[in-house]
Amino acid sequence: MNNNFRFETNLKNPILYDVIFLNDPITTMEFVERVLRDIFGKKHKQAVKLTQKIHETGYGIVGSYIYEIAGQKELETSLMAKDENFPLRTVIKIR
């Protein structure tokens, strides 16, 4: 039995997925800022600026990650929003 196999991974250029927040009329800007700080590790000024962009344009890319991490952050965001009764929606899109 030949146990030789080739496993290829592109560690230098992994495929990234954007996590996108969609604006809605109910979710507060304060909540979005907190999610950006707590889950996405944004600094206060970054969170405020990004929240304003989401509010003004209707959406915003909040981070780009490998698929597993993007999915985990999307799940954490959804659970946090659900816990606080906000309808914040997120989308994951290949970059």
The fold of the 25-94 domain, in CATH, is Ribosomal Protein L30; Chain: A, (3.30.1390)
Residue 78 in this model has a pLDDT that exceeds 70? yes
Q: What is the pTM of this model?
A: 0.86
Strands 17-22 and 89-94: antiparallel
| Cα separation, 87 vs 26, whole angstroms | 7
Instruction: Report whether 58 contacts 23 (CB < 8 A).
Output: yes
Instruction: Report the percent of the chain where pLDDT is more than 90.
Output: 85
pLDDT tens readout for residues 13-36: 899 999 999 999 999 999 999 999
Please report the pLDDT score of residue 40 as a whole number: 98
Please report the pLDDT score of residue 26 as a whole number: 98
The set of residues, in sequence order, having a beta carbon less than 8 Å from that of 17 and lying 6+ positions away, is: 64, 65, 66, 67, 70, 92, 93, 94, 95
Residue 5 in this model has a pLDDT that exceeds 90? no
- Across-strand partners of 17? 65, 94
